């Protein structure tokens, strides 16, 4: 069945615009001419079977793929009109604007406090009151403050998995990014922790542009405003979540969503 | 059925692993107990026995061994008879059947002397009229006499120090003079002034040397007369006696006091009698300083090289080959490093330094001969592969998520390295460092050709500018063991010292490594990553 390429769906107020993005691991092509616009201050979910290139795609947005030597990227990703794939782009500056939360939580072996302000310390912030305020604000936003406020200066290694993941979200929020990338943030968590993180994502919506990769269809339906379905490196269908889940245009999308495939 | 299950569960292999561990433990414990058993009790005063033999002669000394005569059932005893200048041997075997009577006479005195080892005998009289000693007899008199000459000895000691200081200044002036003469067109007035200073110093030196000789001969007039087991008289200068004691009348407390005195001597004094007696201070100092300098060299280089290999170098054939080379470097015999050190550091770099900076002293080498700097550089080279491998492995064991997490928060690679990776890798790096240190402290072969000596005239660290004298030769406990154990003319007499030195070397290595282990455990606790 030929997978046809669809034109960029116009969205209102796009913050991230992807145009004809091709990505190669050595000779293998992982992303094939992906084009779409991601709206500002909304939650956009990327769904699709394993290996379809979702994670690879979001790692392009903060240029995390730079760490891998064998990757070659062609095409354009614009954030607020600026092409971030341009070699002259300041990657450090970009990553300040685009935060990321990983599938496997990765708090640093430091105190909870130091974990939250890591990005600020790296940026050279020394003002004590500002650091203290950021810690409180970020942990409150990440719905972790009540649980850890009495042990800020203890090691983050004593937290539970769900708490660690929320700490990683707090850490990302602390540098005040515009966009937050989430790469399957709940896939290793129990249902209760997952629910808390989903609440948190709903909370953050409106203030941050959130792009989330998920394997969980219900999760995408619950938390996202827009959904993109990817398959074998191609963007098959993209649109408002309600529409994708109720009246998908493509047969492949419907098959995947209804569980007949994937 | 049962048998199949037995093999399937791997029971024999579990036993084999347990047995291998037990064997290793057994060997280690045996080694340690031999060293401790022989080394720890050496300073404990042994009773002195008097054996009257069937032929009418008498043997006086400590019984140091007893064993069966080869090919017979007869017992024989080894006596440490001392009195080397009289009998030419310190030790003597006596058959049990030849002994008529064995006793422990109370009045026996043991003298530790500056020369010729121990003396065993009885005090007859003290000939020291100038000392105006109060009337006393026997051991009290001897103790009083030894106390009475102490001020005189202190004076001589001081005079010696003054002469050494003078000698040092004279050498400085002579070096300066040689340097000026080496330059063409040096200021003749300054040359003349230096020459005059040299003459003054020399004059003062001669004067002091005469005074020292006079004082020495005055001191040597104080004598004590002893008789040995066979009744021969022996006159010994009081100044020759380091210590006198009567082991057969000493109680436990006195013996403990004696033990502690000897222990203090071991840690603080210079060796005597071609290293078989006295202390080990210069060797202890040399060993610790060597390891310290080695660490300064090998630790930073090893860590930096390991970081480059793991974090920056692009994986490829070249990096693989470098890695193989590094691993193989750790397996090269240490004597090869020694030869390299001699050729490259001593003859290569050292000679160049001499030609550039110390030309006036040539042909006497300054850095162009073995010294503590070259020895520690050689050891540094020898241990650097261990540190590199440990650093690489410690960095490799850090979960990749940590690196990504840090860089996603806008940290550069360098910031990630200094703020997260190196602290997290520090326990592993320290483990490698501990291994490196233990290896360096125990190496002897490369030192023998890069600067260790059996007796160093001065420590590499002293009060004279520039305080740290890296060109100096040094003493080392490991070499000390080899030297007194195998190069000494009087093997039997130096045996106790070999055990003591071994024990000390093991203790020092233990001390240094446990400090590092303590540090490592602290860091490990601090930087542990929980992997859920």
Average pLDDT rounded to a whole number, residues B393-410: 91
CATH number of the B281-531 domain:
1.10.3720.10
Partners of residue B401 in chain A, C-beta under 8 Å:
102, 104, 106
Strand order across the B48-53 sheet? B91-95, B75-80, B58-68, B48-53, B99-103
The tens digit of pLDDT for each residue in B189-222 reads 888 888 888 899 999 999 999 999 999 888 888 8
Q: Which of A67, A95, A109 sits opposite B410 (nearest CB)?
A: A95
Say which CATH topology domain B48-123 has.
SH3 type barrels. (2.30.30)
Q: And the tokens for A59?
A: 């790692």
- Taking an 8 Å cut-off on Cβ atoms, the answer to whether B405 and A108 are in contact is yes
- What pLDDT band is residue A101 in, cutting at 50, 70 and 90? very high
Cα–Cα nearest to B201, from B164, B159, B158: B164
Contact at 8 Å (CB) between B408 and A64? Answer: yes
Cα–Cα nearest to A125, from B409, B172, B209, B445: B409
Average pLDDT rounded to a whole number, residues B356-364: 78
Residue with tokens 């005079």: B159
- Taking an 8 Å cut-off on Cβ atoms, the answer to whether A67 and B403 are in contact is yes
Residue B2 has pLDDT above 70, yes or no: no
CA distance B411 to chain A (A): 6
Q: Measured in whole angstroms, how far is the alpha carbon of residue A139 from the centre of its chain? A: 19
Average pLDDT rounded to a whole number, residues B274-283: 85
Is A167 in the B-facing interface, judged by CB distances under 8 Å? no
Is B530 in the A-facing interface, judged by CB distances under 8 Å? yes
Average pLDDT rounded to a whole number, residues A95-101: 93
d(CA A171, CA A110): 12
Is B409 in the A-facing interface, judged by CB distances under 8 Å? yes
Residue B4 has pLDDT above 80, yes or no: no
- In this predicted structure, what is the pLDDT of residue B169? 87
- Taking an 8 Å cut-off on Cβ atoms, the answer to whether B526 and A121 are in contact is no
Q: Which of A95, A102, A119 sits opposite B401 (nearest CB)?
A: A102
Domains of chain A with bracketed CATH: 14-109+178-257 (3.40.50.300)
- Taking an 8 Å cut-off on Cβ atoms, the answer to whether A122 and B530 are in contact is no
Average pLDDT rounded to a whole number, residues B268-296: 89
Task: From residue B58, give the alpha-carbon distance in Å to each of B49, B210, B230, B415.
Answer: 10, 44, 6, 81
Percent of chain A with pLDDT over 70: 95
Contact at 8 Å (CB) between B76 and B69? Answer: yes
- In this predicted structure, what is the pLDDT of residue A136? 94
Q: What is the 3-state secondary structure (H, E, C) of chain A?
A: CCCCCCCCCCCCCEEEEEEEEEEEECCEEEEEEEEEEEECCCEEEEECCCCCCHHHHHHHHCCHHHHCCCEEEEEEEEECCEECCCCCCCHHHHHHHEEEECCCCCCCCCEHHHHHCHHHHHHCCCCHHHHHHHHHHHHHHCCCHHHHHHHCCCEHHHCCHHHHHHHHHHHHHHCCCCEEEEECCCCCCCHHHHHHHHHHHHHHECCEEEEEECCCHHHHHHHCCEEEEEECCEEEEEEEHHHHHHCCCCHHHHHHHHCCCC
Q: And the tokens for B92?
A: 């003597």
Q: Which of B402, B408, B412 sits opposite A108 (nearest CB)?
A: B402
The tens digit of pLDDT for each residue in B134-192 reads 777 777 888 888 888 888 889 998 999 899 888 888 888 888 888 887 777 777 888 88
Average pLDDT rounded to a whole number, residues B353-362: 80
Mutation to test the A interface, candidates B311, B406, B410, most A Cβ within 10 Å:
B410
- In this predicted structure, what is the pLDDT of residue A228? 92
Instruction: Give the torsion through C-alpha atoms of B108, B112, B114, B120, to 10 deg.
Output: 30
**What is the predicted ipTM?**
0.88
| Average confidence score pLDDT of chain B | 87
- What pLDDT band is residue B283 in, cutting at 50, 70 and 90? very high
Average pLDDT rounded to a whole number, residues B317-334: 89
Q: Which of B314, B408, B528 sits opposite A109 (nearest CB)?
A: B528
Average pLDDT rounded to a whole number, residues A16-39: 90
Contact at 8 Å (CB) between B53 and B98? Answer: yes
- In this predicted structure, what is the pLDDT of residue A10? 64
- In this predicted structure, what is the pLDDT of residue A4? 44
Q: And the tokens for B155?
A: 């004076």
Q: Which of A69, A158, A175 sits opposite B409 (nearest CB)?
A: A175
Residue A7 has pLDDT above 60, yes or no: no
**Closest Cα in chain A to B419:** A122
Average pLDDT rounded to a whole number, residues B240-259: 90
The tens digit of pLDDT for each residue in A128-164 reads 999 999 999 999 988 899 999 999 999 898 898 889 9
- What pLDDT band is residue B375 in, cutting at 50, 70 and 90? very high
Q: Domain boundaries in chain B?
A: 48-123, 148-265, 281-531
Q: Which of A95, A109, A161 sits opposite B408 (nearest CB)?
A: A95
Q: Which of A62, A157, A164 sits opposite B408 (nearest CB)?
A: A62
Is A104 in the B-facing interface, judged by CB distances under 8 Å? yes
**Closest Cα in chain A to B416:** A122
CA distance A91 to chain B (A): 8
Is A123 in the B-facing interface, judged by CB distances under 8 Å? yes
**Closest Cα in chain A to B400:** A106
- In this predicted structure, what is the pLDDT of residue B529? 67
- What pLDDT band is residue A98 in, cutting at 50, 70 and 90? very high
- Taking an 8 Å cut-off on Cβ atoms, the answer to whether A64 and B402 are in contact is no
- Taking an 8 Å cut-off on Cβ atoms, the answer to whether B402 and A123 are in contact is no
- Taking an 8 Å cut-off on Cβ atoms, the answer to whether B410 and A123 are in contact is yes
From first CA to last CA, the distance across chain B in angstroms is 41
Average pLDDT rounded to a whole number, residues A246-261: 85
Residue B226: Cβ-neighbour burial (10 angstroms; 0-12, 13-18, 19+): buried
Interface of B with A in 298-317 (CB under 8 A): 314
d(CA B160, CA B244): 25
- Taking an 8 Å cut-off on Cβ atoms, the answer to whether A93 and B407 are in contact is no
CA distance B526 to chain A (A): 8
Residue B392: Cβ-neighbour burial (10 angstroms; 0-12, 13-18, 19+): buried
Cα–Cα nearest to B447, from B378, B350, B349, B347: B378
Average pLDDT rounded to a whole number, residues B396-413: 91
Residue A153: Cβ-neighbour burial (10 angstroms; 0-12, 13-18, 19+): exposed
In sequence order, the β-bridge partners of residue B343 are none
pTM of the full structure: 0.83
Is B97 in the A-facing interface, judged by CB distances under 8 Å? no
Partners of residue B532 in chain A, C-beta under 8 Å:
161, 164
Q: At what angle do helices B317-329 and B372-396 cross, to 10 degrees?
A: 130
């Amino acid at each position: 069945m030929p997978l046809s390429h669809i034109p960029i769906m116009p969205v209102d107020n796009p913050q991230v615009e992807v145009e004809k993005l091709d990505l190669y691991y050595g000779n293998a092509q992982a992303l094939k001419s992906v084009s779409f616009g991601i709206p500002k201050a909304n939650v956009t979910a990327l769904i699709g079977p394993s290996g379809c290139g979702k994670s690879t795609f979001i790692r392009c947005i903060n240029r995390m793929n730079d760490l891998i030597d064998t990757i070659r990227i062609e095409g354009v990703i614009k954030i607020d009109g600026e092409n971030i794939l341009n070699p002259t782009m300041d990657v450090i500056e970009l990553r300040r604007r685009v935060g990321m939360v990983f599938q496997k939580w990765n708090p640093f072996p430091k105190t909870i406090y130091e974990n939250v302000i890591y990005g600020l310390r790296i940026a050279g912030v020394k003002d004590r009151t500002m650091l203290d305020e950021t810690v409180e604000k970020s942990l409150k936003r990440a719905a972790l403050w009540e649980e850890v406020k009495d042990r800020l200066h203890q090691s983050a290694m004593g937290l539970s998995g769900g708490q660690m993941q929320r700490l990683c979200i707090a850490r990302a929020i602390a540098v005040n990014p515009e966009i937050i990338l989430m790469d399957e943030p709940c896939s290793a968590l129990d249902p209760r922790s997952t629910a808390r993180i989903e609440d948190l994502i709903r909370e953050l919506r409106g203030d941050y542009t959130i792009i989330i990769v998920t394997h969980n269809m219900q999760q995408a339906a619950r938390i996202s405003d827009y959904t993109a379905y990817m398959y074998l490196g191609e963007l098959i269908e993209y649109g408002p979540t309600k529409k994708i889940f109720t009246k998908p245009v493509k047969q492949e999308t419907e098959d995947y969503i209804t569980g007949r495939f994937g | 059925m049962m048998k199949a299950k037995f093999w399937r569960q791997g029971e024999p292999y579990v036993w084999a692993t347990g047995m291998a561990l037990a064997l290793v433990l057994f060997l280690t414990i045996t080694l340690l107990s031999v060293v401790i058993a022989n080394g720890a009790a050496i300073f404990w005063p042994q009773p002195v026995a008097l054996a009257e033999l069937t032929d009418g002669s008498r043997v006086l000394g400590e019984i140091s061994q007893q064993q069966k005569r080869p090919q017979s059932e007869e017992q024989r005893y080894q006596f440490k008879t001392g009195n080397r200048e009289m009998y030419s041997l310190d030790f003597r075997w006596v058959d049990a059947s030849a002994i008529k009577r064995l006793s422990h006479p109370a009045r026996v005195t043991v003298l530790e002397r500056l020369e010729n080892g121990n003396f065993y005998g009885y005090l007859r009289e003290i000939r020291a009229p100038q000392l105006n000693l109060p009337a006393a007899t026997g051991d009290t008199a001897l103790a009083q006499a030894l106390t009475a000459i102490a001020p005189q000895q202190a004076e001589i000691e001081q005079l010696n120090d003054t002469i050494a200081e003078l000698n040092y200044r004279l050498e400085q002036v002579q070096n300066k003079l040689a340097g000026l003469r080496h330059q063409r067109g040096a200021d003749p007035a300054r040359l003349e002034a230096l020459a005059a200073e040299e003459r003054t110093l020399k004059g003062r030196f001669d004067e002091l040397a005469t005074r020292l000789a006079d004082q020495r001969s005055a001191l040597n007039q104080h004598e004590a007369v002893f008789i040995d087991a066979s009744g021969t008289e022996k006159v010994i200068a009081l100044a020759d006696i380091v210590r006198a004691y009567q082991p057969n009348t000493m109680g436990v407390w006195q013996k403990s006091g004696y033990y502690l005195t000897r222990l203090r001597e071991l840690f603080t004094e210079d060796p005597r009698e071609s290293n078989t007696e006295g202390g080990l201070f210069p060797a202890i100092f040399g060993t610790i300083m060597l390891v310290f300098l080695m660490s300064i060299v090998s630790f930073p280089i090893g860590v930096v090289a390991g970081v480059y290999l793991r974090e920056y170098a692009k994986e490829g054939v070249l990096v693989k080959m470098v890695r193989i080379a590094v691993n193989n470097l750790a397996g090269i015999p240490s004597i090869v490093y020694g030869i390299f050190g001699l050729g490259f550091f001593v003859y290569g770099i050292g000679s160049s330094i001499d030609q550039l900076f110390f030309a006036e002293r040539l042909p006497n080498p300054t850095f162009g001969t073995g010294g503590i700097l070259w020895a520690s550089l050689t050891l540094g080279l020898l241990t650097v592969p261990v540190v590199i491998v440990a650093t690489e492995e410690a960095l490799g064991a850090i979960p990749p998520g940590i690196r990504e997490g840090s860089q996603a928060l806008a940290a550069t690679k360098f910031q990630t390295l200094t703020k997260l990776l190196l602290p997290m890798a520090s326990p592993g790096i320290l483990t490698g460092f501990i291994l490196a240190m233990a290896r360096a402290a125990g190496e002897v072969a490369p030192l023998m050709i890069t600067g260790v000596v059996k007796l160093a005239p001065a420590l590499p660290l002293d009060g004279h500018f520039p305080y740290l004298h890296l060109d100096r030769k040094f003493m080392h406990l490991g070499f000390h063991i080899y030297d007194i154990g195998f190069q000494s003319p009087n093997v039997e007499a130096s045996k106790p010292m070999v055990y003591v030195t071994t024990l000390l070397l093991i203790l020092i290595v233990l001390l240094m490594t446990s400090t590092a282990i303590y540090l490592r455990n602290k860091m490990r606790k601090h930087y542990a990553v929980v992997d859920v």
